[in-house]
């Protein structure tokens, strides 16, 4: 009778761990706090206690590289009813699994993607466990032999089913502005910080669907999958069909950034 199960009344985080250390933990916890506030759920633990849970999970799973999954639901109530029950206690669920990061050589093999109509709701900025639309859209990609679906709303490409979108055109990096139609990815933030450090010109603006077909490079980013170059879009090559020069520069900077931590 947990509302996370019955209604998807819950939010979550996925946090990669490199060499025992959660990557960008503070940013993940800030996003968790924002998601909790957006669904009017009082934060059940403070950051110190979240860190204790992370440390325990990492240690119990043998340390090294892992991926922590963390979910907070509104909790259990014996009566299934839509409004929030009074005096309900949030449920916390967390686990850690091995992180199978790809090497740069493996990542440089690239992925294929398809474009699909974004059928999600209007609060995609909340990291909600209501992921049915994302699941169905990703499955559509897989059924067509692709690895990710790029979601298009009203003629604009917003993000992937579980990734943020970057386009390179004439050596300029473009990513959609953060708003209610996409999730503010932690990896997206790192990529923008590294772009500034690497003196790569970038802009946050809406990307028209048709810009995808003339892009020099397309990347999709997420915590566990890092930065993936898209080699094929709707079965057509992206740019020259190879991992592009700006992607090579960015993935090198990303690996160095991880090492430094």
Ligand X SMILES: Cc1ncc(COP(=O)(O)O)c(C=O)c1O
Residues near ligand X (CB under 6 A) are: 14, 159, 162-164, 183, 185-188, 221-223
CA distances from 176 to 80, 92, 135 (A): 38, 32, 22
The active-site residue, picked from 52, 89, 102, 127, is 127
CB of 138 to ligand X, least distance (A): 10
* Calpha distance 107→92 (Å, rounded): 33
* Nearest residue (CB) to ligand X, 32 versus 231: 32
Tell me the two tokens of residue 31: 């996003």
Q: Are 42 and 36 in contact (CB under 8 A)?
A: yes
CB of 34 to ligand X, least distance (A): 12
* 127 is annotated as an active-site residue: yes
Q: Are 98 and 66 in contact (CB under 8 A)?
A: yes
CB of 65 to ligand X, least distance (A): 16
* Calpha distance 65→51 (Å, rounded): 16
CB of 167 to ligand X, least distance (A): 15
* Nearest residue (CB) to ligand X, 159 versus 217: 159
* Nearest residue (CB) to ligand X, 189 versus 216: 189
Q: Which residues of 213-241 are buried (b: 16+ CB within 10 A; e: fewer)?
A: eebbbbbbbbbbbbbbbbbbbeeeebbee
Q: Which residue is nearest to ligand X (CB)?
A: 185
* Nearest residue (CB) to ligand X, 71 versus 187: 187
Active site residues: 127
């Amino acid at each position: 009778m947990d509302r996370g199960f019955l209604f998807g009344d819950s939010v979550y985080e996925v946090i990669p761990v490199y060499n025992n250390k959660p990557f960008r933990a503070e940013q993940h916890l800030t996003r968790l706090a924002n998601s909790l506030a957006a669904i009017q759920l009082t934060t059940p633990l403070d950051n110190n206690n979240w860190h204790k849970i992370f440390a325990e999970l990492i240690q119990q799973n043998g340390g090294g590289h892992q991926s922590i999954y963390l979910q907070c639901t509104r909790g259990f109530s014996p009566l299934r009813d839509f409004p929030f029950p009074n005096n309900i206690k949030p449920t916390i669920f967390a686990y850690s699994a091995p992180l199978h990061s790809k090497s740069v050589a493996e990542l440089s093999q690239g992925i294929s993607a398809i474009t699909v109509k974004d059928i999600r709701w209007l609060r995609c900025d909340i990291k909600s466990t209501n992921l049915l639309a994302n699941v169905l859209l990703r499955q559509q990609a897989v059924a067509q032999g692709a690895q990710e679906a790029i979601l298009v709303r009203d003629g604009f490409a917003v993000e992937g089913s579980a990734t943020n979108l970057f386009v390179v055109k004439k050596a300029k990096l473009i990513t959609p502005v953060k708003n209610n139609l996409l999730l503010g990815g932690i990896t997206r933030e790192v990529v923008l910080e590294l772009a500034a450090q690497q003196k790569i010109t970038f802009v946050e603006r809406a990307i028209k669907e048709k810009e995808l077909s003339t892009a020099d490079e397309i990347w999709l980013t997420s915590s566990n999958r890092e930065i993936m170059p898209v080699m094929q879009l709707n079965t057509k090559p992206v740019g020259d069909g190879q991992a592009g020069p700006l992607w090579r520069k960015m993935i090198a900077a990303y690996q160095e950034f991880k090492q430094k931590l």
